[in-house]
Amino acid sequence: KIEHKFDYIIGNPPYITYHDMKEDQKELLKKNYKTCKKGRSDYCYAFIEASINALAVKGKMIYLVPYSIMTNKFAEELRKFIRPYMTQIYDYRTIKIFPDATTSSVILVCENEKDRGTILYHLVAKEKILEIPKERLGKKWIILGNQNISGKRFGEYFEVKNSVATLYNKAFVLKEYEYKDQEYIVGDYRIEDVLVRDAASTKSLKKRRDKIIFPYQIVEGKRVDYTEKEFIKKFPKATEYFKQFKEALRNRKADENTKWFQYGRSQAITKVEGEKIIIPMVITKKVHAYRAGREAIPYAGYFIKCKAGSELTLEDAKSVLESRNFYEYVEICGTPTTPTSYRISVDDIKDYMIIRDED
């Protein structure tokens, strides 16, 4: 509890992602800070909220914070909260302030006075200052431009999904193996081939052919789980293989009711079948999209499939994603991880506007 009000607050608050916080920290934030009540907030959101609330009339707060608060969907409440107070932003997204960190940074200047309706946006690397009306800020603060153009969203033609999340690839992804007598041989263990599929990631498709254990049945597009007893009986050799990882698999931060021999999260499991292309989450200099087979299981990056009845093909999707226009869009809406690399989200990809000749 802060009793006093302050004329000047300056800081570099701790950045702790939601997944790296302890449970009592998560509860503390959700209970006491309105910017942290929804979704996966970062620890620094609470510091920003508390500091603005502690400003005296005409007081000023200057904070060095992650660039991700500009675009992260879980920072939307924070952006709403600070918008009336915000007067300046210093954008360091292409400058590596901290040599040993991948986080890109911005400096926020907030003042407790009448809302001016505009912000001064400092492009530090270019030594340029823009005056931006706040009314132009959307849900995400993509300051350097939006696609204010007609056309259709990428997501109207294509499904865009996160890959499966095993939460322990060491147990599921097979990089060194032999195949003999309808079994995969991994060291001293054998695995029934009915459980094994091609594994798809941008690295594996580019350099090698990994395999992945897929411990599920998909029947008419629906997931059918094995009980533990069924799995052990039907796949005794795979069970023996998994047992060496059993403790680590049980200790994953897995979804509730996940069995120890299953993937840690349920995302994408029913969507992986069918022709698809794969792109990484972090784009460096150019987007590279890779085709993956119908049975392949994507375990890193994003995968894209045609929607039912789509007028465009996967080749069209590949062409769009590898275009210079799409990379320029990534530079605007992505979160920088290095001066030439940007992390994009599923929603960013879906929201890209495709302009077709007939449009």
147 inside domain: no
pLDDT digit string, tens, across residues 150-177:
568 899 999 999 999 999 999 999 999 9
Specify whether 127 is located in the same domain as 203: no
pLDDT band at residue 358 using 50, 70 and 90 as cut-offs: very low
Q: What is the pLDDT of residue 127?
A: 85
149 inside domain: no
pLDDT digit string, tens, across residues 47-85:
999 999 999 999 999 999 988 888 888 888 999 999 999
Number of domains in the chain: 2
Query: Of 173-182, 287-296, 336-345, where does mean pLDDT reach its minimum?
Result: 336-345
pLDDT digit string, tens, across residues 250-290:
999 999 899 999 999 999 999 998 999 999 999 988 899 99
Given a cut of 50, whether residue 147 has pLDDT beyond it is no
Specify whether 240 is located in the same domain as 328: yes
Tell me, letter by letter, the H, E, C secondary structure of the chain: CCCCCEEEEEECCCCCCHHHCCHHHHHHHHHHCHHHCCCCCCHHHHHHHHHHHCEEEEEEEEEEEEHHHHCCHHHHHHHHHHCCCEEEEEECCCCCCCCCCCCCEEEEEEECCCCCCEEEEEEHHHCEEEEEEHHHCCCCCCCCCCCCCCCEEHHHHEEEEECCCCCCHHHHEECCCEEECCEEEECCEEEEHHHEEEEECHHHHHHCCCEEECCCEEECCEEECCCHHHHHHHCHHHHHHHHCCHHHHHCCCCCCCCCCCCCCCCCCCCCCCCCEEEECCEEECECCCEEECCCCEECCCEEEEECCCCCCCHHHHHHHHCCHHHHHHHHHHCEEEECCEEECCHHHHHHCEECCCCC
Pairing of β 55-66 and β 6-11 = parallel
User: How much is the pTM?
Assistant: 0.66
142 inside domain: no
Pairing of β 302-306 and β 158-162 = antiparallel
237 is in which domain, residue-wise?
158-354
148 inside domain: no
CATH of the domain at 51: 3.40.50.150
Specify whether 312 is located in the same domain as 216: yes
pLDDT digit string, tens, across residues 104-121:
789 999 999 999 899 998
Specify whether 132 is located in the same domain as 186: no
179 inside domain: yes
343 inside domain: yes
As a whole-number percent, the residues of the chain with pLDDT over 90 amount to 53
As a whole-number percent, the residues of the chain with pLDDT over 70 amount to 94
